[in-house]
């Protein structure tokens, strides 16, 4: 049997969360997060909240944790994520510029994205 994940939602937070849920201009992802916190604050387990909201227990636990750490403001914004690709170093950028301006690729008239990537590594 899973542990009960009860959190205390103060009256001011509860009122703000209910306002977010009722407001027609609130983005749906924020409404969804507010519902998760409100249901969890009522004493429901993560599995019950997940069933009512239509998501996984992992997602319920994630937003519950975010609320306990950052309050209502933590539900309003997405967490920042690292970029998918590492940014190019200054040396690589200099090398690309030099090749573009001063050299031609072998057996071609101009650099393509793939030929430049192969040349620079």
Number of domains making up the chain:
2
Residues 58 and 104 in one domain: no
- Using 50, 70 and 90 to split pLDDT, how confident is the model at 86? confident
Residues 51 and 99 in one domain: no
pTM confidence score? 0.65
Residues 31 and 64 in one domain: yes
In a domain, 4, yes or no: no
Residue 48's domain comprises 11-76
Residues 70 and 94 in one domain: no
Burial of 52-89, coded b for 16+ CB within 10 Å and e otherwise, reads ebebebebbbebbebbeeeebebbeeeeeeeeeeeeee
pLDDT in tens, 31-47: 999 999 999 999 889 99
């Amino acid at each position: 049997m899973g542990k009960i994940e009860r959190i205390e939602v103060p009256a001011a937070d509860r009122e703000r969360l209910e306002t977010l849920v009722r407001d027609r201009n609130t983005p749906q992802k924020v409404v969804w997060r507010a519902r998760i916190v409100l249901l969890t604050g009522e004493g429901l387990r993560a599995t019950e909240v997940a069933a009512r909201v239509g998501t996984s227990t992992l997602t319920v636990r994630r937003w519950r944790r975010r609320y306990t750490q950052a309050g209502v403001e933590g539900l309003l914004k997405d967490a920042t994520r690292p970029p998918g690709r590492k940014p190019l170093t200054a040396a690589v950028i200099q090398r690309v510029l030099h090749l573009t301006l001063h050299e031609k690729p072998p057996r071609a008239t101009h650099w393509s994205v793939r030929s430049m990537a192969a040349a620079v590594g």
